[in-house]
Amino acid sequence: MTYEPVIGLEVHVQLKTRTKVFCGCSTEFGNEPNTQVCPVCLGFPGALPVLNRLALEYSIKVGLALNCTVQEFTKFDRKHYYYPDLPKNFQISQYDLPISKNGYLEIQINGVSRRIKICRAHLEEDAGKLIHEENHSLVDLNRTGQPLLEIVTEPDIFSPEEAYEYLVNLKSIIQYLEVSDCDMEKGTLRCDANISVRPKGSSGLGTKSEIKNLNSFKAVRDALEYEIERHSETLNAGEKIIQETRLWDDKKSQTVSMRSKEEAKDYRYFPEPDLPPFIISKENLSEIKNTIPELPKEKKSRFIQVYGLSEYDAGILVMSKQNADYAEERLKIYPEKDKKPVANWIIGPLTATASNLKCEVSELQIIPEDFVALIDLVEKKQVISNLTGKTVLEKMAKTGKSPDLIIREENLAQNSDEKSLEKEVDAVIQENPKVVADVKIGKNNSLMFLVGQVMKRTKGKANPKIVQEILKRRFA
Amino acid sequence: MELYRLTAHELLDKLSKKEISPLDLISSVRERIKNNDGLVNAYVRLVDRPAEFKLPPQKNGALCGIPISIKDNICTESLNTECCSKILTGFKPPYDATVIKKLKEAGAVILDTKTNMDEFAFGSSTENSCFGPTHNPWNLDCVPGGSSGGSAAAVASDEAIMALGSDTGGSIRQPAAFCGVVGLKPTYGRVSRYGLIAFASSLDQIGTFTKDIPDCCLLMNVISGHDPMDATSIDVPVPNYIKSLGKNIKGLTIGIPQEYFIEGLNSQVKSIVEEAIAELKKLGAAVKEVSLPHTEYAVPVYYILGTAEASSNLSRFDGVQYGYRANSSNLVQMYKKTRGEGFGQEAKRRILLGTFALSHGYYDAYYLRALKVRTLIKNDFDAVFKDCDCIITPTAPTEAFRIGEKTEDPLQMYLSDIYTISVNLAGIPAISIPCGFTKAKLPVGLQIMAKPFGEETLFQVAHAYERSTQWHKLKPKLQ
């Protein structure tokens, strides 16, 4: 029998507030263990939590951006379990009145849009970190009390690809809101996946497994693929799926059983008596709404409409807000009507240059005016070839000099003088009789080889278009 | 001169006139404790300290030079704070509770030994302390009440000038009544709970023990106010409570709830309270009978909500970071043994009750229902305060009982808070003041309740009564 998967994702996003969610300790990453702690986050007797307003605001922002209903009345609850990474042995979380409920996120797969239903987004405090060593474990409580937003989807995802797209888009939206770095390596975005399978075309839900230790979006996709296969094989062999938590092993590309969840835990939730409930007024809500920037989806359609970019190019440019802003600054000042070259140059050569220099595109020291000037020199004025253009771009990035200056200093301007180019072409024809014979029987590749030879002779300065024209005339 | 016998306002007068020095005063109190506490056991971890003494830096503070005794569940920096529980053995908080900070800023001298209490404030007799029971100064065979029995007995026996306690269901007012001193539980949110080791967060409130009403006002002036460190403290301006003193009570209306004068109320206590009410009438107050119809549910509601919150609040005591840790080979064993050995019987009983009340499948029937009834109880008070300035009742249904009398019967023990619990559930302020003695020469307390932030009314009525009677001036002869 063939099966189809039903997937739900729980994403934990660490909010980028300067201080922790219930105390004034710093949230900075990577410091000495147990140096960012105080009586409150250590859960010392008598210490009390006080909510970080910004964490609440950030949570509301995400809720709004995910099309959720932000509740007027919200409260915190205590979730109890014993573990050394949780100093109070309860976590302040939200149970029945999360900040946001019933939203969705739109994804596109192969040009088809679908809304993934989001069931809730609630704010809670992070636990500490345990470092397990040979015969003991170490506790680092720097992370304890950092604000976490848990975003939970309905079991409304039906393929690993959808799960992947959901995550990519969620990350993009949250980064647009500038409320989290969403860096899986640093643990500022964490994802657990619930998956079950059912006979294709049926409704209802099978027994699920929960997958943890997913370190990248790719790992999520791979682990889900693996689980679909495992579930299907198990069922086809006439066996039952056990409800359990499984860990993804990235190296072995498989999941392994961590613990069975047959006896459901009783967390004994009850309202946190140390924090009064919060009323989010309509005014507060609209104030926060006003701080939400244009989100990737809207930006993408605007880029297509206003700058005439393709779906594909616009999609790439808007993935991160930083890059989108970077691109728009340049699209705006590019003097030509057709803005596509700007997109091409950013997605292509500029991204390559940044990656060569191991930095972000936005960190390159190329001012917008120089960048569009370069594109103009290549595309319209044809002062230099595409290839030379890339070299000039690299030099601009390294030196901060303008393209004009680099071209002048290094004498890189293209030779478009027909007469001198004819001489070069003729020389190449003489040197390559065999290739010339191939060209004559219609081998186009061979013609391009000859163009290349001319470029080589002229150290890349020949205008390749003119060279090609001359060659074509010669063999006409 | 026996300085320890005086009130804070009398001492402040002498200090400001330079008739005495802060050192004289602290030495006098220390000497009194040393000579007396063998009988009373109001203090725990008593050590003989050298007489050296550093004057507090503030020279003009409202309580400059006045020694204050602190219940063992209020955090004092670097000074043991153990809630009289084995599980917090050796715990020295790295910080001061907000009230301690405020007291220090006012120039008060925090006594370096804390007052005895029922473990984690679980009890009404101060018998559930890992340091042994406190004795009632009026009769050493009797309990001082609880859970703040140490603070109450210390003030009653002149081993303290004034003291702080905490009140979750009567833990200040009932011992104040049993020991014949003034005990105030302020409005919930009036005094910061930051640094008070929580029993039941939604009910706990820090309050005062003093020898008279002016001292109570003095102390409340210092410790009240909004605290950004306590989200449940309320930002209402603090009046100068001294200004409530000396006012007459003509035209005030006092409500007498019929539900408090029922079977179970000791007849001597009843007639003493009725005499006090008659006295207030004489002073010009109008008295009317009122009804608080949901009173009978207060005790069960309290024991569900209180134990539920306690079971959660006490889950942090696990031997990992501080306090007592049992030897064991693995983590789960450590948790179990530490808590098994570290908590006393009453603490275990309440943790189990509370855990049960919060458990899956029982939550709605117990916790949620109790929350709803709590609202009904609060509504009762709101209704009465529409026509009354205050409500007057006995503080406790009986005089102080004998040590050991109720330890085997927790239900009987729980009922000794029957008149004080509703106040915590409703979050309103209430005070207990001495209003007479039973035939056994044990004090009786009069409880006055007011609407939220109505402390001034309490002081106005209590001070009017205090001025026309002498009960607060009587002292026990320790024997």
Q: What is the reported pLDDT for B52?
A: 56
Q: What is the reported pLDDT for A414?
A: 81
Q: What is the pLDDT of residues A394-444, one digit of tens each?
A: 999 999 899 989 988 888 888 888 888 889 888 999 998 888 888 888 887
Instruction: Decide if pLDDT at A341 tops 60.
Output: yes
Angle of helix A464-474 versus helix A444-457 axis, rounded to 10: 130
Which one is predicted more confidently, B55 or A200? A200
Q: What is the reported pLDDT for A466?
A: 87
Q: Are B208 and B162 in contact (CB under 8 A)?
A: yes
Q: What is the reported pLDDT for A262?
A: 52
Residues B94, A44: C-beta atoms closer than 8 Å: yes
Q: Are B256 and B391 in contact (CB under 8 A)?
A: yes
Q: Give the pLDDT mean for A63-80.
A: 97
Among A88, A270, A278, pick the best mutation site for testing chain B contact (most B Cβ within 10 A).
Answer: A270
Among B81, B95, B235, B353, pick the best mutation site for testing chain A contact (most A Cβ within 10 A).
Answer: B95
Q: How many whole angstroms from its chain centre is CA B247?
A: 26
Q: Would you mind telling me the total number of residues written for chain B in this entry?
A: 479
Q: What is the pLDDT of residues A102-144, one digit of tens each?
A: 999 999 898 899 999 999 999 999 999 999 998 888 999 999 9
Per-residue pLDDT of chain B (479 residues), as tens digits, is 799 999 999 999 999 999 999 999 999 999 999 999 999 999 999 876 655 556 666 567 999 999 999 999 999 999 999 999 999 999 999 999 999 999 999 999 999 899 999 999 999 999 999 999 999 999 999 999 999 999 999 999 999 999 999 999 999 999 999 999 999 999 999 999 999 999 999 999 999 999 999 999 999 999 999 999 999 999 999 999 999 999 999 999 999 999 999 888 999 999 999 999 999 999 999 999 999 999 999 999 999 999 999 999 999 999 999 999 999 988 999 999 999 999 999 999 999 999 999 999 999 999 999 999 999 999 999 999 999 999 999 999 999 999 999 988 888 888 889 999 999 999 999 999 999 999 999 999 999 999 999 999 999 999 999 999 999 999 999 86
Rounded CA separation A97/A72 (Å)? 10
Q: What is the reported pLDDT for B478?
A: 83
Q: What is the reported pLDDT for B118?
A: 98
Rounded CA separation A366/A387 (Å)? 18
Q: Where are the alpha helices (DSSP H) in A310-432?
A: 311-318, 321-333, 340-345, 351-356, 368-379, 386-399, 403-409, 418-431
Chain A partners of B121 at a C-beta cutoff of 8 Å?
none
Instruction: Decide if pLDDT at A228 tops 70.
Output: yes
Q: What is the reported pLDDT for B50?
A: 57
Chain B partners of A140 at a C-beta cutoff of 8 Å?
none
Q: Is B192 a catalytic residue?
A: no
Q: What is the reported pLDDT for A446?
A: 86
Cβ-Cβ contacts under 8 Å for B69 (sequence gap 6 or more): B42, B43, B111, B114, B115, B150, B151, B154, B155, B159, B160, B161, B162, B163, B164
Among B188, B314, B315, pick the best mutation site for testing chain A contact (most A Cβ within 10 A).
Answer: B315
Which one is predicted more confidently, A227 or A263? A227
What ipTM, to 2 d.p.? 0.95
> Tokens for A212?
């943890």
Give the number of other Cβ atoms within 10 Å of residue A321's Cβ. 19
Angle of helix A464-474 versus helix A418-431 axis, rounded to 10: 60
Rounded CA separation B5/B31 (Å)? 12
Give the number of other Cβ atoms within 10 Å of residue A317's Cβ. 25
Residues B97, A39: C-beta atoms closer than 8 Å: no
Give the CATH number of domain B3-295+373-473; options: 3.90.245.10, 3.90.1300.10, 1.20.120.1230, 3.30.360.10.
3.90.1300.10
Task: Say what the pTM is.
Answer: 0.90
Residues B358, A88: C-beta atoms closer than 8 Å: no
Residue A92, strand partner residues: A78
Strand positions, DSSP E, A34-188: 69-70, 73-74, 77-80, 90-93, 100-109, 112-125, 129-132, 137-140, 147-153
Average pLDDT, chain A: 92
Chain A partners of B77 at a C-beta cutoff of 8 Å?
none
Q: What is the reported pLDDT for B192?
A: 98
Q: Which residue has tokens 């001036």?
A: B473
H/E element, B1? none
Q: What is the reported pLDDT for B322?
A: 96
Instruction: Decide if pLDDT at A267 tops 70.
Output: yes
Q: Which residue has tokens 């006409």?
A: A476
- The reply to whether B261 touches chain A by the CB within 8 Å rule is no
Q: What is the reported pLDDT for B56?
A: 61
Task: Using the Cα atoms of residue A312, residue A317, residue A318 and residue A319 in order, give the sign of their dihedral.
Answer: positive
Q: What is the reported pLDDT for A310?
A: 93
Chain A partners of B229 at a C-beta cutoff of 8 Å?
48, 50
Angle of helix B455-468 versus helix B267-282 axis, rounded to 10: 90
- The reply to whether B202 touches chain A by the CB within 8 Å rule is yes
**Interface list for A 186-215 with B (CB within 8 A):** none
Task: Using the Cα atoms of residue A179, residue A182, residue A188 and residue A190 in order, give the sign of their dihedral.
Answer: positive
Residues A43, B316: C-beta atoms closer than 8 Å: yes
Q: Is B17 a catalytic residue?
A: no
Rounded CA separation B32/A375 (Å)? 92
Angle of helix B369-384 versus helix B298-313 axis, rounded to 10: 120
> Tokens for A243?
């409800």
Q: Which of A381-390, A460-469, B43-52, B371-380 shows the lowest per-residue confidence on average (mean pLDDT)?
A: B43-52
Cβ-Cβ contacts under 8 Å for A58 (sequence gap 6 or more): A15, A16, A17, A147, A149, A177, A179, A180
Domains in chain A, CATH or no CATH each: 3-287 (no CATH), 296-409 (no CATH), 418-474 (1.10.10.410)
Instruction: Decide if pLDDT at A195 tops 70.
Output: yes
Rounded CA separation B258/B271 (Å)? 14
| B147 prior amide bond cis, ω within 30 | yes
H/E element, A196? strand A189-199
Residues B75, A268: C-beta atoms closer than 8 Å: no
Q: Is B147 a catalytic residue?
A: yes
Task: Using the Cα atoms of residue B118, residue B124, residue B125 and residue B128 in order, give the sign of their dihedral.
Answer: negative
Give the number of other Cβ atoms within 10 Å of residue A439's Cβ. 22
Instruction: Decide if pLDDT at A392 tops 80.
Output: yes
Q: Are A139 and A102 in contact (CB under 8 A)?
A: no
